[in-house]
């Protein structure tokens, strides 16, 4: 009874209590723990409350009330992020877009879907498919991530080599800035040369400028039936040679790579079969239009003749293509039980082999007993470094040791003019390392932009900057 009375007092006495009905403003421990974080596990979680607006006007009212009372706001989507961008650790209001999850309209002439920010990515993909079209941004969390969160982090995924990032598919945005003002940006236009395009400031801003509430997303022609080739190679340099040869032959939809250690983890956790009869140090996964199988097979035979490919398997059905993709897609889940320390970086594609050698030498010299799993979207220079936690270390000890070598790792990134965050964002995890990818002048300009849209600093405080 005492706890129930305390919860009631919190609801009735909170600055937002007059704005939302009681069931859409939650203070209970389960809600705070669930909506107060993302998929990171190394940051303290302590939100003040969780708010569930259902309209743009309610979002505006929440932002204005938070501003008036000096409350921080953490915008929350599907909470699939890996950088701590959705973590509320200091009594903030978590503004969840879960209930703003409707598709509002479709313009078939311009191939534009207008949707609320809480629409799940897979739902937009299925909506497009039902109309003979495609929303092509694809990644493992499509079944739970929100369009608004994708935009706020400029999500990439496995088809970037052909279709680009989320940014390339955003035709217009409606946003509530940190002032509470509602802004409609670009309105779905293809051509609009009227000065600054604020739409692109909000794409990738990680909720630090305001709340994305609606979006106009472009669709494209549905892709042809796809085939998948998985081949084993000796070195990363050979992977890049294969990429160049195959790209010269056909248009690729995806070009991924993973190490033998990654494959062993998937086999152990998922009980799947090896794709090839013999193990290889690295594997490349290539997706392309099925109609180009003959050209790909010819290029693959040439790679084998030159000793650049050891063996390979080419899908002969949709089911086999899915099973080959599963070898790559199941890596993250298979590594999860070993509490990996993840790093998501990018360099120019030609720099990848030398960069991987340097990073492996760095980690092995600092912590020779750590296992390191490499995989990623090598077709666009995006690499995922996963250091696996030894059983004899606590999470805190492991995180501290890994975090200690991050400056040296990011110096290697900086030396190649790369990015310390290729697609997962900066959030809390990379905030203190932003200077390795952005100059002091750029960071100061970013602070100036934030001051314009969020003059009181209430939007996702402590993230990114």
> Is 459 part of a structural domain of the chain?
no
Residue 96 CB contacts under 8 Å (≥ 6 apart), including other chains: 35, 50, 51, 52, 76
For residue 378, give its domain range: 339-441
CATH classification of the domain holding 371: 3.30.70.2740
Q: Could you tell me the pTM of the whole model? A: 0.92
269 found inside a domain: yes
Same domain? For 127 and 161 the reply is yes
Residue whose structure tokens are 């270390």: 393
pLDDT in tens, the chain (465 residues): 333 333 444 555 789 999 999 999 999 999 999 999 998 877 999 999 999 999 999 999 999 999 999 999 999 999 999 899 999 999 999 999 999 999 999 999 999 999 999 999 999 999 999 999 999 999 888 999 999 999 999 999 899 999 999 999 999 999 999 999 999 999 999 999 999 999 999 999 999 999 999 999 999 999 999 999 999 999 989 999 999 999 999 999 999 999 999 999 999 999 899 999 999 999 999 999 999 999 999 999 999 999 999 999 999 999 999 999 999 999 989 998 998 888 889 999 999 889 988 988 898 888 888 999 999 998 899 999 899 999 999 988 998 898 888 899 999 999 999 999 998 899 998 999 999 999 999 999 999 999 999 999 999 999 999
Indicate whether 425 and 324 sit together in one domain.
Answer: no
Among candidates 145, 85, 119, which has minimal Cα distance to 217?
119
Residues 378 and 435 in one domain: yes
Evaluate whether residue 451 is within a structural domain.
no
Instruction: List the structure tokens of 215.
Output: 């979006």
End-of-domain residue from the set 185, 205, 221: 221
Domain match, 67 and 123 both: no
- Is 345 contained in some domain? yes
Tell me, yes or no, whether 247 lies in a domain.
Answer: yes
Q: Are residues 213 and 231 in the same domain?
A: no
CA 381 from chain centre, in angstroms, equals 15
What's the rounded Cα separation, in Å, for the pair 403 and 64? Answer: 37
CATH code for the domain of 33: 3.30.43.10
State which of 186, 221, 256 marks the end of a domain: 221
Total domains present in the chain:
4
460 in a structural domain: no
DSSP-based three-state secondary structure for 41: coil
Q: What is the dihedral of CA 211, 216, 222, 227, to 10 degrees?
A: -20
- CA 194, CA 197: separation in Å to the nearest integer? 8
Tell me if residue 241 falls in helix, strand or coil: helix
- Residue 295 within any structural domain of the chain: yes
Cβ-contact 178, 63 below 8 angstroms: yes
In a domain, 424, yes or no: yes
The CATH number of residue 287's host domain is 3.30.70.2190
User: CA torsion 44→49→50→56, rounded to 10°?
Assistant: -120
């Amino acid at each position: 009874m005492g706890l129930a009375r305390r919860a009631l007092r919190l609801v009735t006495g909170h600055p937002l209590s007059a704005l939302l009905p009681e069931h859409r403003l939650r203070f209970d421990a389960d809600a705070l723990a669930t909506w107060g974080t993302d998929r990171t596990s190394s940051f303290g979680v302590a939100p003040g409350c969780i708010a569930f607006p259902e309209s743009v006007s309610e979002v505006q009212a929440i932002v204005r009330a938070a501003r008036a009372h000096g409350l921080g706001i953490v915008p929350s989507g599907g909470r699939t992020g890996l950088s701590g961008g959705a973590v509320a650790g200091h009594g903030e209001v978590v503004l969840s877009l879960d209930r703003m999850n409707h598709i509002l309209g479709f313009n078939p002439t311009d191939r534009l879907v207008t949707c609320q920010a809480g629409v799940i990515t897979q739902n937009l993909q299925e909506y497009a498919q039902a109309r003979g079209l495609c929303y092509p941004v694809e990644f493992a969390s499509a079944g739970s991530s929100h369009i608004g969160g994708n935009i706020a982090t400029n999500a990439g995924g496995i088809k970037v080599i052909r279709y680009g990032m989320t940014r390339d598919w955003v035709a217009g945005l409606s946003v509530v800035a940190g002032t509470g003002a509602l802004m409609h940006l670009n309105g779905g236009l293809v051509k609009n040369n009227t000065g600054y395009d604020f739409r692109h400031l909000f794409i990738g801003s990680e909720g630090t400028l305001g709340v994305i509430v609606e979006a106009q997303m472009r669709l494209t022609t549905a892709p042809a039936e796809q085939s998948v080739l998985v081949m084993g190679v000796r070195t990363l340099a050979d992977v890049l040679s294969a990429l160049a040869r195959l790209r010269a032959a056909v248009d690729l939809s995806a070009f991924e790579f993973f190490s033998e250690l990654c494959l062993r983890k998937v086999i152990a956790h998922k009980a799947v079969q090896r794709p090839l009869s013999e193990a290889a140090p690295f594997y490349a996964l290539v997706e392309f239009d099925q109609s180009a199988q003959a050209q790909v097979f010819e290029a693959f035979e040439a790679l084998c003749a030159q000793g650049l490919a050891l063996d390979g398997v080419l899908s002969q059905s949709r089911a086999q293509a899915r099973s080959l993709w599963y070898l790559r897609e199941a890596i993250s889940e298979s590594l999860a039980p070993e509490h990996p320390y993840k790093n998501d970086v990018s360099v120019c594609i030609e720099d990848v082999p030398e960069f991987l050698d340097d990073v492996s030498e760095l980690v092995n010299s600092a912590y020779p007993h750590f296992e390191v799993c490499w995989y990623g979207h090598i077709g666009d220079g995006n690499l995922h470094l996963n250091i696996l936690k030894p059983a004899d270390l606590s999470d805190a000890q492991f995180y501290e040791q890994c975090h200690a070598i991050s400056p040296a790792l990011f110096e290697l990134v900086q030396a190649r003019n790369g990015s310390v965050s290729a697609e997962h964002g900066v959030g809390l995890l990379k905030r203190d390392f932003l200077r390795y990818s952005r100059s002091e002048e750029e960071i100061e300009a970013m602070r100036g932009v934030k001051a314009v849209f969020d003059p009181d600093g209430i939007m996702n405080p402590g993230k990114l900057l």
